[in-house]
Amino acid sequence: MRRRVSPTFDLLLERSRASLYRLFVRVVKLASGWGIGRRLPIFRRFYFATIPILRPGVTALGPWTVYFHRGDNAVSHALRNEGTYEQFELELIKCLLGAGDCAIDVGANIGIHSLVMSAAIGRRGIVLALEPDPGNITLLRRNLEVNQCANVELLPIAASDRAERIELFLNPENRGDHRVYDPGDGRSSIMIQTERLDRILEERQLHPALIKIDVQGWEAKVLAGVVPRLKDVEHLVLVTEFWTAGLRDAGSSDRTYLAMLDDLCLQLYEIDEEERVLRRLPDDRSAWLRIPRETNLLAVRGVSVESLTGIRYEQSPYSG
């Protein structure tokens, strides 16, 4: 659970850097509008030399202080320039968890979802945050410590359908795009440990109320490793990435993963971040699947999504 802490010197320094960065970006946009970059090439060289120095590594996300990778062009880029990431999904998670719940963050990255889960479940709840990349783990641990999330247990592993040593293929430009399979683009790799989620939950005698899975196509393997533990859970929420190309490259398919979710008797909704709406998927998914997807799904059992306060809901346009 989170308690407010006093800013440290490095945090104050990073906040000052963030303020300078935002001011610098505004000045550059103004200058670009006047065409200064085209008329004065030295201005362009100054920009490209200065922006990496000023680029901040911390931001305020709601009540939390969040440290992130200064060079990352995905999650950290969104935090640096927009001050948030997957905000609608975070709000859904907050609405769907209650005091004392157990939540699992598979592919925790730097911990944004874990922070929201921690606050939503309170002192009596527990969050398991799974993240195998050492660089992400460093920032994840720092974010949990600075926000005093004592109810989060960090597990430096990946979830899968079996326990084994396996390669993690790294993307240095997008720290949320590490993959537990070789994408064939020449990445370097490190060895990590995988475990089945059902074994982890059984050891701790935990029954999850919500599981978030975002692992670049490895979702079917993660789900296969926890299905036995979920069959008897009365109220269940899954928040999962659904990426057609990633599932295929990881040795599964979008149809296979949807069938696994259906076998758990879950009602499926597409999370539309831009429109901030949940769209219920039709029972006949053939038309929906004709288009390759890169989206997130909300899957629920024993939970009334339609009754959530402030959440807009509609039928999928592919309902036929």
160-184 pLDDT tens trace: 999 999 999 999 889 999 999 999 9
Residue scoring higher pLDDT (33 or 170): 170
Mean pLDDT over all residues of the chain? 88
Proportion of the chain above pLDDT 90, given as a percent: 65
pTM of the model: 0.87
19, pLDDT greater than 90: no
Lowest mean pLDDT among 12-16, 100-104, 233-237, 249-253: 12-16
Q: Sorting pLDDT into bands at 50, 70 and 90, what band is 316?
A: confident
Q: Is 305 exposed, middle or buried (0-12, 13-18, 19+ CB in 10 A)?
A: middle
| Superfamily of chain region 87-315 | Vaccinia Virus protein VP39 (3.40.50.150)
Full strand arrangement of the beta sheet holding 164-169: 158-160, 189-196, 164-169
Could you tell me where the beta strands, DSSP code E, fall in the chain? 58-61, 64-67, 102-106, 126-130, 152-155, 158-160, 164-169, 189-196, 210-213, 236-243, 267-272, 277-280, 294-301, 312-315
Question: Residue 216: how many CB atoms within 10 A of its CB?
Answer: 23
Q: What is the mean pLDDT of residues 39-54?
A: 67
**Orientation angle between helical segments 134-146 and 112-121, nearest 10 degrees:** 40
Tokens of 286: 């053939």
**Which of 198, 191, 189 lies closest to 221, judged by CA?**
198
Question: Residue 175: how many CB atoms within 10 A of its CB?
Answer: 22
